[in-house]
Amino acid sequence: MADSRDDARHLETLDRDLARFSNLEMATAYVSRPMVGPGVSLIFVILAGLAAAIFFGQANNTLIVVAAACLGAYMALNIGANDVANNMGPAVGANALSMGGAIAIAVVFESAGALIAGGDVVSTIAKGIIAPESMETAQTFIWAMMAALLSAALWVNLATWVGAPVSTTHSVVGGVMGAGIASAGLAAVSWSTMSKIAASWVISPVLGGVIAAGFLWLIKSRIIYQDDKIAAARKWVPLLVGIMAGAFATYLALKGLKRIIKIDLGAALMIGLLIGGAVWLVMIPAIRKQSQGLENRNKSLKILFGIPLVVSAALLSFAHGANDVANAVGPLAAIVQAAQSGNFADAISIPFWVMIIGAFGISFGLFLFGPKLIRMVGSQITKLNPMRAYCVALSAAITVIVASWLGLPVSSTHIAVGGVFGVGFFREWDAERRLRKARLEVPNRTVYGPEERRRRKLVRRSHFMTIIAAWVITVPAAAIISGLIFFGLRAFLS
């Protein structure tokens, strides 16, 4: 009996010790998990610097190029953490893709877009924001570009931390403007270009929101509110998928493939019309087959929009990789050219090793830090389903096409988030309209009071105000940070 009691006590002691070890392991994992992302990011930044030292291979200015490569890698990580959420957020929020699936698709297509179709010739000093002749020397130009790169990366990093999707393009533009003013004065800035960019703060989200709301109205009126939803879907879904195919074909022809082949707007529209028509005809029997046996309910409609939504997310990622990789590596390429040849007034071509840093950095940033903003865009602004997310994705492509036709600079971030807001506010308006209609038809029917209706708003106002505020101050904030960094660099290195 005594032996058995001793054995029981030993077992209890062993169990307590094992429990302590288990708790210690869980606590260690909990504490160390937040350090994994920054640790991997630091390793990537160091590797980018080593790659610059190997590929640049110049005796002079090597240290400057290495430092610039590290800053470019840091900026690329932040683009992946913040900007890519606009493409994948709606599909994840609509449950058409899991978070892991969205990240895998985005990593593949962002990298493909950057390496295959990215690297179009970048005009001197970020799209004409600063006149190149205003820079006194190549050294001043290099400091200005480094200040612009670091300020843009810091601003996007801060925005990601607070949960605000911002335009990386506007961040770079603000950084370049601030460094240009600090180095050459207010006269160096092309204020006409800046006024167009400022106008895009309003035009991009409003246009994206209106187009997304318009397509949601079409889907609701022609499919969702019909007595026979499946019959209506068989008629309209092939047409809607054809419109999406045509819009994305035009979008990719204009924006995603410009390094491979130059296509004007008329030719791009013709390509989109042909591809859209072909996809429409192919989808008619496909949707008819897919809809067989589906119940006459809204849940069945979500199935029909699932695959087009996933394809649209992949195509948006490809186009984003092709276009926005220049935000990370454009200033880096300019520094490389100025350090190598002393020439900073001509057009800047991006070396392939610089493109690799941009493509991999975006992918790592998305994988390590992207889920936070993906959840924000996909589910925390308003509730999305495949039909609503489809409208957001389609509005992104169409808005870029319309903006190209009008000659307006637009932000893909503002368009996508504006589309989400447009869908949410349309749902609020439609719900209120239907409530008023029901009250007229049944006067004694119980309806929500004003307080309850305010509580049940379909767009979270706190996120709306945070995002709008971040958009408005992105350019001036990045400019101020860049100017301060430029003065610091000049004082330290002079």
**Is residue 217 over pLDDT 50?**
yes
| Residue of 262 and 55 predicted with greater confidence | 55
Tokens of 305: 């929009």
Q: Of 280, 291, 363, whose CA–CA distance to 88 is shortest?
A: 363
Note the pLDDT tens digit of each residue in 398-413.
887 887 777 666 777 8
Look up residue 284 and give its amino acid: I
> Which SS3 state, helix, strand or coil, does residue 129 take?
coil
* pLDDT tens-digit series, residues 134-150: 777 888 888 888 999 99
Phi, psi of 456 (to 5 degrees): -95, 20
- Confidence (pLDDT) at 28: 42
In the predicted structure, residue 273 carries a pLDDT above the cut 90: yes
| 3-class SS letters over 283-309 | HHHHHHHHCCCCCCCHHHHHHHHHHHH
Predicted confidence at residue 94, as pLDDT, reads: 86
Whether the CB-CB separation of 366 and 158 falls below 8 Å is answered with no
Look at 30-44, 124-138, 195-209, 257-271 and tell me which has the smallest mean pLDDT.
124-138
pLDDT value of residue 154: 95
- Name the pTM for this structure: 0.83
pLDDT over 70 (residue 389) = yes
Region of residue 130 (left: phi > 0; alpha: psi -120 to 50; beta: else): beta
pLDDT at 337: 83
Q: Which pLDDT belongs to residue 345?
A: 64
pLDDT digits (tens, 9 = 90+) for 277-291: 999 999 999 999 998
Which range, 108-117, 260-269, 287-296, has the best average confidence (pLDDT)?
287-296
pLDDT digits (tens, 9 = 90+) for 415-472: 888 898 899 899 888 888 887 777 777 666 555 555 555 554 567 777 778 888 888 8
**CA-CA distances (angstroms) from residue 204 to 196, 216, 442?**
11, 18, 41
Q: Encoding tokens for residue 206?
A: 């409003």
Is 93:384 a contact under the CB 8 Å cutoff? yes
Q: What integer pLDDT is reported at residue 42 of this predicted model? A: 92
Please tell me the distance from the alpha carbon of residue 478 to that of residue 494, in angstroms, as a whole number.
24
DSSP state of 128: H
What span, in angstroms and rounded, lies between the C-alpha atoms of 213 and 231? 23
Q: What is the mean pLDDT of residues 2-24?
A: 56
| pLDDT score of 7 | 55
User: Among candidates 41, 29, 150, 70, which has minimal Cα distance to 369?
Assistant: 41
